[in-house]
């Protein structure tokens, strides 16, 4: 294993005076914001940072009198993290005013941004939506059909999973993380397992890295197929929707054939893997993946030449590269905006050697770019799986790595982008857990992308991100 695989998390305890300049310096030297959490004991707020090579850094600042300095002006991406910490832990972020409640569902004027002007009015949607959609409330501030501003109120599905995991064993904690979201179950579970293994001083064996990479890519395949179907549904193209929904079904059946579960539940554990896949199953999976690849490519070609679909996609829901950078956008949405970064390229704990992020040629951050990005990533995942599924999969265990440490950070590229999991372990017990998923990172970008567009285009813009609510609400 490479050195980085077992490198410890660099932890900086900043003074209140130096905190903001420490954050600024790190951001200026290539570190990316990866989340903010209140450390166990509630006396410390810590910001996680990630580098492109997969290493991690924590900058902590003491909570004094219930207050810490806000960094939201330096890192706008920390906005939701600070609002969440304020609601769940009662921390006041000096400089983030007014801090709008995000988890706590209070009266309208406290969580929405005031929008004034002639003919401005509000359209409220949700929490129960018209289709089979997760629960969440959107409040559009519009003039005519034009969206001026969107306030999203999620956390309707907040189950307190992270808090419930506290005090339990690391293995028990996995159940909470894996059930946070079915769409990103593997990504979340692997991020958590990586964090725990780093805290426990474990590194992956080559086989463990391979098994987890296979699972992550299988998850990406069904998600991307599902997301292409969703965009078709977003414009009312039933034929495209049905075609890719059918392929999604086939991908889930393949998951079940390989692992016994359509969503790959229960396939990840800390310190090893129990998954065994024989040569015959591997061969059958390779055949089905090749068939899926062909069918998806055929389906995609028809979508490319479908004028009624393609007419709807360009120049809608535009996120420019500088905005993606500012808002901390991750995953396919960021790459479609020209921010060519992918956690997979720096994942020493996984088998992504030689991986280069794919990006669409026309990466101008609109619905079309995000739609096309899904397709090229899908081809990339099929190629990765063909390479990885070249021999049977055997049960395996992790290997001793660096010295154990109190905090571990796992970072994984989920189908929706970089997912970061921070775990504090004491004597094998979870003391604090924070899961910041790709969906969590991207919701503020959806709100940004909606502004300036027509209200009837919002479902399409939303589908082009296809974020989970469950991943955010936890």
Choose between 183 and 408: whose C-beta lies nearer to another protein.
Answer: 183
Here the tokens at position 435 are 């899961």
Choose between 183 and 204: whose C-beta lies nearer to another protein.
Answer: 183
Q: To the nearest whole angstrom, how small is the minimum distance from the Cβ of residue 108 to another protein? A: 15
Handedness of CA 129, 130, 134, 138 (dihedral sign): negative
3-state class of 47 per DSSP? strand
What is the distance between the alpha carbons of residues 456 and 248, in angstroms, rounded to a whole number? 26
The stretch among 114-122, 238-246, 304-312, 443-451 that binds another protein (CB under 8 A) is: 238-246
3-state class of 2 per DSSP? coil
Choose between 176 and 458: whose C-beta lies nearer to another protein.
Answer: 176
What is the distance between the alpha carbons of residues 81 and 139, in angstroms, rounded to a whole number? 20
What is the distance between the alpha carbons of residues 125 and 133, in angstroms, rounded to a whole number? 12
Choose between 246 and 406: whose C-beta lies nearer to another protein.
Answer: 246
Determine if 249 is a binding residue for another protein (CB under 8 A).
yes
Choose between 332 and 348: whose C-beta lies nearer to another protein.
Answer: 332
The stretch among 64-72, 132-140, 348-356, 370-378 that binds another protein (CB under 8 A) is: 132-140
What is the distance between the alpha carbons of residues 466 and 121, in angstroms, rounded to a whole number? 26
3-state class of 422 per DSSP? strand
For 113-160, the DSSP string reads PP--STTEEEEEE-SS-SSS----EEEEEEETTEEEEEEEE--TT---
Give the number of other CB atoms < 10 A from CB of residue 160. Answer: 13
Given its phi and psi angles, is residue 365 left (phi above 0), alpha (psi -120 to 50 degrees) or beta? left
What is the distance between the alpha carbons of residues 50 and 474, in angstroms, rounded to a whole number? 22
The stretch among 36-44, 93-101, 262-270, 365-373 that binds another protein (CB under 8 A) is: 262-270
Determine if 135 is a binding residue for another protein (CB under 8 A).
yes
The stretch among 71-79, 125-133, 279-287, 345-353 that binds another protein (CB under 8 A) is: 125-133
Q: Which residues, 6+ apart, have CB-to-CB distance to 189 below 8 Å?
A: 174, 177, 178, 267, 268
- Window 144 to 173, contacts with another protein (CB under 8 A): 155-161, 163-164
Q: To the nearest whole angstrom, how small is the minimum distance from the Cβ of residue 261 to another protein? A: 9
| Of the candidate residues 179, 286, 362, 431, the single one contacting another protein (CB under 8 A) | 179
Q: To the nearest whole angstrom, how small is the minimum distance from the Cβ of residue 203 to another protein? A: 29
What is the distance between the alpha carbons of residues 176 and 198, in angstroms, rounded to a whole number? 19
- Window 415 to 474, contacts with another protein (CB under 8 A): 468-471, 473
Cα angle 401-402-403, degrees, rounded to a multiple of 5: 125
| Of the candidate residues 46, 96, 252, 411, the single one contacting another protein (CB under 8 A) | 252
The stretch among 178-186, 285-293, 321-329, 386-394 that binds another protein (CB under 8 A) is: 178-186
| Of the candidate residues 105, 146, 269, 326, the single one contacting another protein (CB under 8 A) | 105
Determine if 245 is a binding residue for another protein (CB under 8 A).
yes
Q: To the nearest whole angstrom, how small is the minimum distance from the Cβ of residue 459 to another protein? A: 13
The stretch among 78-86, 126-134, 361-369, 376-384 that binds another protein (CB under 8 A) is: 126-134
What is the distance between the alpha carbons of residues 333 and 291, in angstroms, rounded to a whole number? 27
Determine if 40 is a binding residue for another protein (CB under 8 A).
no
| Of the candidate residues 1, 62, 74, 265, the single one contacting another protein (CB under 8 A) | 265
Q: To the nearest whole angstrom, how small is the minimum distance from the Cβ of residue 193 to another protein? A: 18
- Window 182 to 201, contacts with another protein (CB under 8 A): 182-183, 185
Choose between 155 and 300: whose C-beta lies nearer to another protein.
Answer: 155
Determine if 127 is a binding residue for another protein (CB under 8 A).
yes
What is the distance between the alpha carbons of residues 98 and 83, in angstroms, rounded to a whole number? 10
What is the distance between the alpha carbons of residues 148 and 143, in angstroms, rounded to a whole number? 7
| Of the candidate residues 82, 84, 134, 217, the single one contacting another protein (CB under 8 A) | 134
3-state class of 15 per DSSP? coil
What is the distance between the alpha carbons of residues 357 and 341, in angstroms, rounded to a whole number? 6
**Owner of token pair 């229960």:** 266
Q: To the nearest whole angstrom, how small is the minimum distance from the Cβ of residue 194 to another protein? A: 21
| Of the candidate residues 118, 130, 403, 427, the single one contacting another protein (CB under 8 A) | 130
The stretch among 122-130, 296-304, 312-320, 409-417 that binds another protein (CB under 8 A) is: 122-130
What is the distance between the alpha carbons of residues 127 and 296, in angstroms, rounded to a whole number? 33
Q: Which residues, 6+ apart, have CB-to-CB distance to 353 below 8 Å?
A: none
For another protein (CB under 8 A), the number of binding residues is: 42
Determine if 246 is a binding residue for another protein (CB under 8 A).
yes
Give the number of other CB atoms < 10 A from CB of residue 17. Answer: 10
Binding residues vs another protein (CB under 8 A): 105, 127-128, 130-135, 155-161, 163-164, 175-176, 179-183, 185, 226, 242-243, 245-246, 248-249, 252, 262-263, 265, 468-471, 473
């Amino acid at each position: 294993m490479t050195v980085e695989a077992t490198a410890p998390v660099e932890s900086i305890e900043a003074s209140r005076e130096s905190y903001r300049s420490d954050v600024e310096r790190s951001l200026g030297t290539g570190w990316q914001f990866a989340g903010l959490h209140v450390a166990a004991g509630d006396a410390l707020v810590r910001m996680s940072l990630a580098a492109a090579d997969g290493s991690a850094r924590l900058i902590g600042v003491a909570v004094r009198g219930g207050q810490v300095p806000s960094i939201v002006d330096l890192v706008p991406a920390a906005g939701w993290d600070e609002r969440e910490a304020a609601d769940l832990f009662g921390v006041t972020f000096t400089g983030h005013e007014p801090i709008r409640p995000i988890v706590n569902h209070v009266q309208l004027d406290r969580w929405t941004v005031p929008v004034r002007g002639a003919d401005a009015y509000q359209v409220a949607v949700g929490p129960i939506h018209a289709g089979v959609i997760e629960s969440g409330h959107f409040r559009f501030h519009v003039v005519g059909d034009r969206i001026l501003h969107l306030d999203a109120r999620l956390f309707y599905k907040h189950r307190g999973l992270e808090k419930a995991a506290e005090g339990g064993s690391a293995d028990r904690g996995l159940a909470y993380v894996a059930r946070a979201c079915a769409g990103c179950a593997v990504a979340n579970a692997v991020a958590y397992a990586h964090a725990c293994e780093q805290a426990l001083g474990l590194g992956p064996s080559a086989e463990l890295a391979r098994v987890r990479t296979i699972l992550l890519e299988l998850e990406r395949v069904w998600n991307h197929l599902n997301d292409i179907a969703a965009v078709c549904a977003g414009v009312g193209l039933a034929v495209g929707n049905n075609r890719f929904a059918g392929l999604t079904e086939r991908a889930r059946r393949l998951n079940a054939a390989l692992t016994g579960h359509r969503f790959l539940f229960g396939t990840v554990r800390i310190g090893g893997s129990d998954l065994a896949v024989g040569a015959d199953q591997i061969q059958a999976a390779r055949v089905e993946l090749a068939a899926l690849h062909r069918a998806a490519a055929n389906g995609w070609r028809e979508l490319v030449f479908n004028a009624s679909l393609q007419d709807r996609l360009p120049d809608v829901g535009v996120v420019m590269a500088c905005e993606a950078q500012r808002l901390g956008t991750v995953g396919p949405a960021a790459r479609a905006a020209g921010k060519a970064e992918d956690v997979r390229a720096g994942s020493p704990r996984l088998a992504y050697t030689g991986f280069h992020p794919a990006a669409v040629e026309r990466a101008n951050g609109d619905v079309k770019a995000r739609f096309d990005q899904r397709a090229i990533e899908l081809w990339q995942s099929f190629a990765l799986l063909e390479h990885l599924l070249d021999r049977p999969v055997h049960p395996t265990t992790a290997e001793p790595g660096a010295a154990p440490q109190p905090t571990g950070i796992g970072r994984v590229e989920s189908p929706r982008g970089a997912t970061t999991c921070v775990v504090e372990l004491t004597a094998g017990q979870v003391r604090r857990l924070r899961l910041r998923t790709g969906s969590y990172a991207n919701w503020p970008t959806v709100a940004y992308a909606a502004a300036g567009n027509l209200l009837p285009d919002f479902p399409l813009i939303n589908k082009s991100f296809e974020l989970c609510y469950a991943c955010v609400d936890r």
